[in-house]
């Protein structure tokens, strides 16, 4: 397994180009199964989860290939409905194949995703919605076995604005018979990207980006090429890196219009942010950082995927602040590792109380999940001495060549093999 070695104290300066959104690319790649002809998707980041998704598409019988950041997928007419456990357990988002497979084949057999480090993460809302659309769903020996004739449009009110649940039901509805409405739907930008792609392919979706999405089923979709939106969480992560190292970074191809709450919260922490164009952010840090109170919320609230990164910022900011994690039940594992570096954090249920300290001191730490890994990299950039981050396969799932991007702007960071 790989690990990262970081020597703290180096100021970042230069330009970083933000890659395509992981959480935008995954559903759109799986949605391409709704279209028999070849689809070309650009701006696809080179990530472990993307490789896993391409392997999954091939297992379903699609032809999938990539050249640089372009991926072509040809779903064809002979899809296979099964997603095996060995693949699904490495990437929960595999469950997003339910909607497309049921739409195209009337059958899907997908391993139950199981929990993951940050929480139990059930898919009950996905399944209940599909049942409302006429699917029969059996759960047996760790598999979800769904069958249907043609899915029927339905009025579905979600108990919680689940991102994956909204995406799965959106993909199930586009080829269903009749009208579907999704109330209390998730409003994340990545869902808007998915809907825009599907509409370009001939779907009839409206209201995406609001809590009420309407879909009129059509008989089939046609191929259309599409470029995935940039990754707002990657952009937020590098803003934090610039602020922590009192650097001067320009982040090119940032999805500024979808980062309002991220930028607002980072600004209130004292981050010097300048928007220098519709997709360009400059962070030239000179102000001191202050702890604030943060609560994670569904979009357009502050995203849970930026919670760990903000915790690192607060570890070395002045004062103290409270972080409330309302989306996942176990998403503070980075706190224990940050404490190994000298952070002063008290955990109580869904709340983390952070008291800023003067400095962090490098030590070996363990990555536990994707965004926790990012928060440890951020801490390593400023910790005195050397920080060693183990199990960085978590990081590789969601950040494209992070140590390369950071080295190019002055970080002292390298990847080595764990003994
Ligand atoms: C998506 O996960 C993202 N993943 C997550 O990003 C992100 O943190 C999350 O949305 C919230 O924004 C992808 O897009 C691939 P949810 P998802 O369904 O769809 C509960 C990252 O770091 N829930 O909105 O799984 C669930 O347990 C990853 O990039 C149910 O109870 O999130 C969780 O507590 C991590 N039943 C909450 O809702 C359901 O049927 C939010 O889950 C579905 C969800």
Whether 21 and 231 have beta carbons less than 8 Å apart is answered as yes
C-alpha of residue 7 to centroid of ligand 1, in Å: 34
Catalytic residue set: 116
Closest atom, ligand 1, to C-alpha of 127: 40
The residue nearest atom 39 of ligand 1, judged by CA position, is: 123
The residue nearest atom 43 of ligand 1, judged by CA position, is: 123
- pLDDT the model gives residue 278: 81
The residue nearest atom 26 of ligand 1, judged by CA position, is: 121
| Residue to probe by mutation, ligand 1, list 129, 164, 326, most atoms within 8 Å of CB | 164
d(CA 354, CA 282): 27
pLDDT per residue over 106-142, tens digit each? Answer: 999 999 886 677 777 789 999 999 999 999 999 988 8
d(CA 244, CA 306): 15
| Mean pLDDT, all residues of the chain | 96
C-alpha of residue 120 to centroid of ligand 1, in Å: 10
Rounded to an integer, the average pLDDT of 338-364 is: 98
pTM, two decimals, is 0.97
Backbone angles phi, psi at 70, to 5 degrees: -110, 135
The reply to whether ligand 1 has any atom less than 6 angstroms from the CB of 115 is: no
- pLDDT the model gives residue 115: 66
d(CA 260, CA 290): 19
pLDDT per residue over 276-307, tens digit each? Answer: 988 999 999 999 999 999 999 999 999 999 99
pLDDT per residue over 176-191, tens digit each? Answer: 999 999 999 999 999 9
Cis peptide before 241 (omega within 30 of 0): no
C-alpha of residue 298 to centroid of ligand 1, in Å: 10
| Residue to probe by mutation, ligand 1, list 160, 397, 398, most atoms within 8 Å of CB | 160
Per DSSP, what are the bridge partners of residue 213? 182
Whether 384 and 360 have beta carbons less than 8 Å apart is answered as yes
- pLDDT the model gives residue 85: 83
pLDDT above 90 for 257 = yes
244: three-class secondary structure by DSSP: helix
- What are 270's two structure tokens? 């004292």
The reply to whether ligand 1 has any atom less than 6 angstroms from the CB of 304 is: yes
């Amino acid at each position: 397994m790989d690990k990262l070695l970081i020597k703290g104290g180096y100021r970042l300066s230069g330009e970083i180009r933000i890659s395509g959104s992981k959480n935008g690319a995954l559903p759109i790649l799986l949605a391409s199964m709704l279209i028999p002809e070849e689809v070309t998707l650009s701006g696809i980041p080179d990530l472990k989860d993307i490789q896993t998704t391409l392997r999954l598409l091939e297992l379903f019988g699609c032809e999938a290939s990539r050249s640089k950041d372009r991926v072509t997928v040809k779903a064809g007419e002979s899809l296979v409905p099964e997603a095996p456990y060995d693949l699904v357990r490495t990437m929960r988002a595999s469950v997003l194949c339910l909607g497309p497979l049921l739409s195209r084949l009337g059958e899907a057999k997908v391993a139950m995703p199981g929990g993951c480090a940050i929480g139990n993460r059930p898919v009950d809302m996905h399944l209940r919605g599909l049942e409302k659309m006429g699917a029969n769903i059996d759960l047996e020996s760790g598999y979800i076995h769904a069958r249907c004739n043609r899915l029927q449009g339905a009025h579905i009110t979600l108990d919680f604005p689940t991102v994956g649940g909204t995406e799965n039901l959106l993909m199930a509805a586009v080829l269903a018979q009749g009208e579907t409405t999704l109330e209390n739907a998730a409003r994340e930008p990545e869902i808007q990207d998915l809907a825009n792609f599907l509409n370009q392919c001939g779907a009839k979706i409206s209201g995406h980006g609001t809590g009420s999405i309407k879909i009129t089923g059509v008989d089939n979709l046609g191929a259309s090429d599409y470029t995935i939106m940039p990754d707002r969480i990657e952009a937020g992560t590098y803003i934090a890196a610039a602020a922590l190292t009192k650097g001067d970074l320009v982040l090119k191809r940032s999805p500024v219009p979808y980062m309002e709450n991220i930028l607002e919260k980072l600004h209130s922490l004292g981050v010097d942010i300048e928007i220098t164009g519709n997709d360009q952010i400059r962070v030239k840090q000179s102000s001191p950082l202050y702890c604030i109170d943060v609560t994670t919320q569904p979009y357009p609230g502050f995203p849970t995927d930026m919670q760990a990164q903000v915790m690192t910022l607060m570890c070395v900011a002045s004062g103290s602040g409270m972080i409330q994690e309302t989306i996942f039940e176990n998403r503070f594992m980075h706190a224990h590792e940050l404490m190994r570096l000298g952070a002063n954090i008290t955990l109580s249920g869904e709340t983390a109380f952070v008291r800023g300290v003067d400095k962090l001191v490098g030590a070996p730490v363990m990555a536990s999940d994707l965004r926790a890994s990012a928060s440890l990299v951020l801490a390593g950039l400023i910790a005195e001495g050397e920080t060693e981050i183990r199990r960085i396969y978590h990081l590789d799932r969601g950040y494209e060549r992070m140590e390369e991007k950071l080295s190019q702007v002055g970080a002292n960071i390298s990847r080595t093999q764990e003994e």
